[in-house]
Amino acid sequence: MDYEIKTAHMNNLNDIVKLLNTVTLNLHKKNINQWKYPWDTEEIKSNIENKYTYAVFNNEKIIGTFSLKLKSKSSWIPEIDEEILYLHTLAILPEYQKKNIGCKIIDFSHNQAVTLNKPLYLDCWSKNTKLKTFYSNCGFDYIMDYPEEDFEISIFKYH
């Protein structure tokens, strides 16, 4: 499958929000509740304006998205005492999952982290065992579980 990762632009906003809502509803059907539905368009707009968000294109169609953001010491998880590159909001349309796109996104993100000389971190809902296994298989080490508002997230660092 041919696809390309590009920095998202404001003209991608509606497609990215629609994609995130589709993926979130699909996760909720599986009782995976890390993301709230519907997505806050202003949050996604801000991430696009700040050039944190990327879109994965198959021809002209956006089939995936993710964001990369520098986080200063202790601004995310207090126990992580270093500036990091945080990979978040990684979402791929259900019909494009299990096609190695997630690993390519992680490779892209790792290359960005190397360029910036920062460690790469991500998280997921702690009860999502399939995703935790996927992250481990793609080169991440489990660090710890961390409490959020009403659930725990599992923290991973790329090795």
Model confidence pLDDT, tens digit, residues 75-90: 778 888 889 999 999 9
Closest CA to 136 of 102, 113, 96: 102
* From the candidate CATH numbers 3.40.720.10, 2.160.10.10, 3.40.630.30, 3.30.470.20, the one assigned to the domain spanning 4-158: 3.40.630.30
Residues of the chain with pLDDT under 50: none
pLDDT for the residue numbered 32: 86
pLDDT for the residue numbered 126: 93
pLDDT for the residue numbered 2: 87
pLDDT for the residue numbered 50: 97
What are the domain boundaries of the chain?
4-158
Place of tokens 């790329």: 158
**Omega cis (within 30) before 38:** yes
